[in-house]
Amino acid sequence: MAAPPVHGAAHRKSSSGDRPNRAGGNRPRLPLLPDDVIHHIFSFLPIKDAVRTSALSKRWRSTWTTTTNLVFDGFRLRFRDPLFLYFPYLVDSVLRQCTSPTDLRLRLSDGPWIEYKLPPFLYCSSWLVRLEVNWCRFWSNETIRWPCLKFLSIEDAALGEDMLGRIFRGSPVLESLKLRRCYRVRNIIIDSTSVKDLVLIGSKKSHSYVDKIWAPHLLSLTLSGLWTWCTHMFRLDDISSLVEAKLAFSIRTSLFDDKRERCDWLKELIEKLCGVPTITIGVWCLKMEGVPSSLSKCQTLMLDTPISQWHLPGIAYMLRSSQCLERLVIHLTGIPRLEEESKESCNEEDFLCSWKGSFQCLVTYLKQVEIIGFKANCLGSKHVLALIKFLLGDTLALEKMIIKADLRARNGQKRLQAAVLSALLAVREKVLSYQRASKNAEVIFDYPFELASF
pLDDT band, residue 91 (cuts 50/70/90): confident
Residue pair 301/325 in contact (Cβ under 8 Å)? The answer is yes
Average pLDDT in the 45-71 region? 72
pLDDT of residue 78: 53
Residues 124-145 have a mean pLDDT of 88
The three-point CA angle 305-306-311 to 5° equals: 85
Arithmetic mean of pLDDT, 167-187: 92
pLDDT at site 2: 46
For 86-128, what is the HEC assignment?
CHHHHHHHHHHHCCCCCEEEEEECCCCCCCEECCHHHHECCCC
| Residue scoring higher pLDDT (121 or 406) | 121
Q: What is the DSSP string of 229-253?
A: --S---EE---TT--EEEEEEEEE-
DSSP 8-state assignment for residue 347: -
What pTM does this model have?
Answer: 0.81
DSSP label of 32? G
Give per-residue pLDDT as tens, 361-383. Answer: 777 899 999 999 876 556 668 88
Q: Tell me if 426 sits within 8 A of 380, measured CB to CB.
A: yes
Contact 251, 288 (CB under 8 A): no
Confidence band of 279 (pLDDT split at 50, 70, 90): very high
Which of 39-43, 71-75, 341-345 has the least mean pLDDT? 341-345
How does residue 431 score in pLDDT terms, banded at 50, 70 and 90? very high
pLDDT of residue 350: 67
Most trustworthy range by pLDDT among 127-141, 159-173, 308-322, 360-374: 159-173
Least confident residue range of 45-59, 182-196, 229-243: 45-59
Which residues fall within 8 angstroms of residue 335, CB to CB, at 6 or more apart? 306, 307, 308, 375, 378, 381, 383, 384
Closest listed residue to residue 337, CA positions, set 375, 305, 304? 375
Q: According to the model, what pLDDT value does residue 362 have?
A: 76
Q: Which tens digits make up the pLDDT trace of 94-128?
A: 888 877 778 888 876 556 556 778 888 889 988 89
pLDDT at 338: 44
Measured CA to CA, the distance from residue 67 to residue 54 in angstroms comes to: 12
Q: Look at residue 89 in the predicted model and tell me its pLDDT.
A: 76
pLDDT value at residue 197: 98
- The residues, ordered by sequence, that sit 6+ positions from 448 with a Cβ below 8 Å of its Cβ are 405, 406, 407, 408
- Summarised one tens digit per residue, pLDDT across range 294-304 is 788 999 999 99
Give residue 337's pLDDT band: very low, low, confident or very high (50, 70, 90): very low
The torsion angles phi and psi of 46, rounded to 5 degrees, stand at: -60, 155
Q: Residue 43 — very low, low, confident or very high, per pLDDT cuts 50/70/90?
A: low
To the nearest 10°, report the CA torsion of 318, 324, 329, 332: 10
Q: Which comes out higher in pLDDT, residue 165 or 25?
A: 165
**Residues in Cβ contact with 28 at an 8 Å cutoff, skipping those fewer than 6 apart:** none
- In whole angstroms, give the CA distance from residue 131 to residue 144: 13
Mean pLDDT estimate for the chain? 78
Per-residue pLDDT averaged across 131-149, rounded? 88
What pLDDT digit, counting tens, does each position of 194-250 carry? 999 999 998 765 555 678 899 999 999 999 988 877 766 788 999 999 999 999 998
DSSP letters for 309-320: TTTHHHHHHHHH
Q: Where are the domains of the chain?
A: 32-149
Confidence of residue 410 (pLDDT cuts 50, 70, 90): low
Kindly tell me if the per-residue pLDDT of 314 is higher than 90. no
